[in-house]
Amino acid sequence: MPRPSRWNEIIEAAAEAFRTNGYAATSLEDIASAVGMWKGSLYHYIDSKEDLLFAVVRGPAEEILKQVRELSETDLPPTEKIRRATRSHVQILNSNFVYASVYLQEIAGRRKLPEWSAMDREYLDLLESIVREGVDSGEFSAVTNPRVTTLALIGSLNWLTHWYRPGGSLHADEIADQFCDLFLGGLISRKTQASRSQTITPLKTTKPRAKRTA
């Protein structure tokens, strides 16, 4: 795992190529020429082509899972949890757009390595348990199947890679809020007007935790 900036150039070039042409259709020469070196020289940084894919994809995958883990440990009301989880998802998609797109196209699809499948499943389970909280508390009275509901939300979010582009006219926060209004309105059905944003506490103040892996 080299550190210097050249490594970042390689990963960025790989991510961009993977996103536009797909992993299998991208050759190491595509990546090498994009950073101005010979394809054989890439092997000073990697052991195989797959290393590039995993390096591209690891960051946002771990980040999005970390954020929903922390969110799940709070005792916010379910509506607010849904809103924050949606914002996290959209914001990570926005700020790591290329990497996240590669993950969704190359990992969440076909590639069934257990490492990534476990992350996908944990993320789904965490979101689903939030939905179940809302069902148990009576807030999400319209939900008949929490898993289907959760998958519908995740689908809308992940489909963003097909049409959203960072820097476009639609800002990430607006999209997240519109998704929340749409889904929470559906979840809550006809009940309180708690669907609007209420911003209980700022989003990323939860960092007193030093290192969790120790």
Closest by CA to 162, choosing from 110, 91, 120, 105, is 105
Residues near 91 by beta carbon (within 8 Å), at least 6 away in sequence = 172, 173, 176
Map the footprint of DNA across residues 15-34, applying CB under 7 A.
26-29
Distance CA 111, CA 143 (A): 31
Spacing of C-alpha 184 from chain mean position:
20
Map the footprint of DNA across residues 119-178, applying CB under 7 A.
none
1 binds DNA (CB under 7 A): no
Of 113 and 170, the one with the shorter C-beta distance to DNA is 113
Distance CA 95, CA 124 (A): 21
> Residue 169 binds which entry of a copy of itself, DNA, none, with Cβ cut-offs from 5 to 8 Å by kind?
none
> Residue 203 binds which entry of a copy of itself, DNA, none, with Cβ cut-offs from 5 to 8 Å by kind?
none
Of 41 and 198, the one with the shorter C-beta distance to DNA is 41
Q: Could you say which DSSP state residue 163 is in?
A: T
> Residue 157 binds which entry of a copy of itself, DNA, none, with Cβ cut-offs from 5 to 8 Å by kind?
a copy of itself
Distance CA 197, CA 26 (A): 42
Determine the interface stretch with a copy of itself among 62-70, 77-85, 176-184, 201-209 (rule: CB under 8 A).
176-184
15 binds a copy of itself (CB under 8 A): no
Task: Give yes or no for a contact between 154 and 127, defined as CB atoms under 8 angstroms apart.
Answer: yes
118 binds a copy of itself (CB under 8 A): no
- Which stretch of DSSP H or E encloses residue 90? helix 78-95
Task: Give yes or no for a contact between 70 and 206, defined as CB atoms under 8 angstroms apart.
Answer: yes
> Residue 59 binds which entry of DNA, a copy of itself, none, with Cβ cut-offs from 5 to 8 Å by kind?
none
Candidates 67, 79, 94, 195; binder of a copy of itself (CB under 8 A) is 195
Candidates 20, 43, 171, 198; binder of DNA (CB under 7 A) is 43
Q: Considering the complex, what minimum distance in angstroms separates the CB of residue 16 from DNA?
A: 15
